[in-house]
A = this chain, B = another copy of it.
């Protein structure tokens, strides 16, 4: 593990690297330039990103796909199974319960919670919905370290407090609001509309280029 702080964008790119090489033959060797092409970035960027974690390329040749996959999985903490709890079984919550990326060996939703009595007791994707009041008691029993918040904004802080009480180490917050948690718990806010702004940048740029022609 690196001794100095690794930028979050580097961590995000590692996830992208992993996806890009997922289907490649493990025996292949890729130069940083080939890796950069796969990712539409520069070879300098690739070398810089990977250098944070020590040398695992083959000098003068590049990176062996199998080794690279293994190292990135190790860095990202994907050699284990993270127990997760999802709170808020509305549309987004139900969508995530069946989302393939949230149902892998590495991530497992072990409990779901809601405060709506008509939802409590129902089973979604093999997970029974329980009362939010029980979060602090149930989380330790199921070794849950990650909480996913998919409640309306108004309920998010209260839910975050309960998750922290239940011992989570990280929270993925989809509710469109800011929440406060102790600094030893890692918070990731997911804003689905950022990708939309990214798209509008490109569409806007293209329309301006057309107008200039």
Contact = CB atoms under 8 A, between A and B. Distances in A.
Contact of A77 (B16, B188, B200): B200
Do most interface residues of chain A lie in helix, strand or loop, or is the interface mixed? helix
A141 interface: no
10 nearest A-B pairs in the assembled complex, by CB-CB distance: A77-B204, A101-B193, A92-B95, A91-B95, A77-B200, A91-B94, A186-B202, A170-B199, A15-B197, A15-B194
Contact of A193 (B77, B102, B169): B102
Nearest to A99: B192
Interface residues of A, number: 62
Per assembly, the copies of the chain total 2
Nearest to A145: B203
Interface of A: 1, 7-9, 11-12, 14-16, 18-19, 40-41, 75-78, 80, 82, 90-92, 94-96, 98-102, 104, 106-107, 145-146, 153, 169-170, 172, 176, 184, 186, 188, 190-206, 208-209
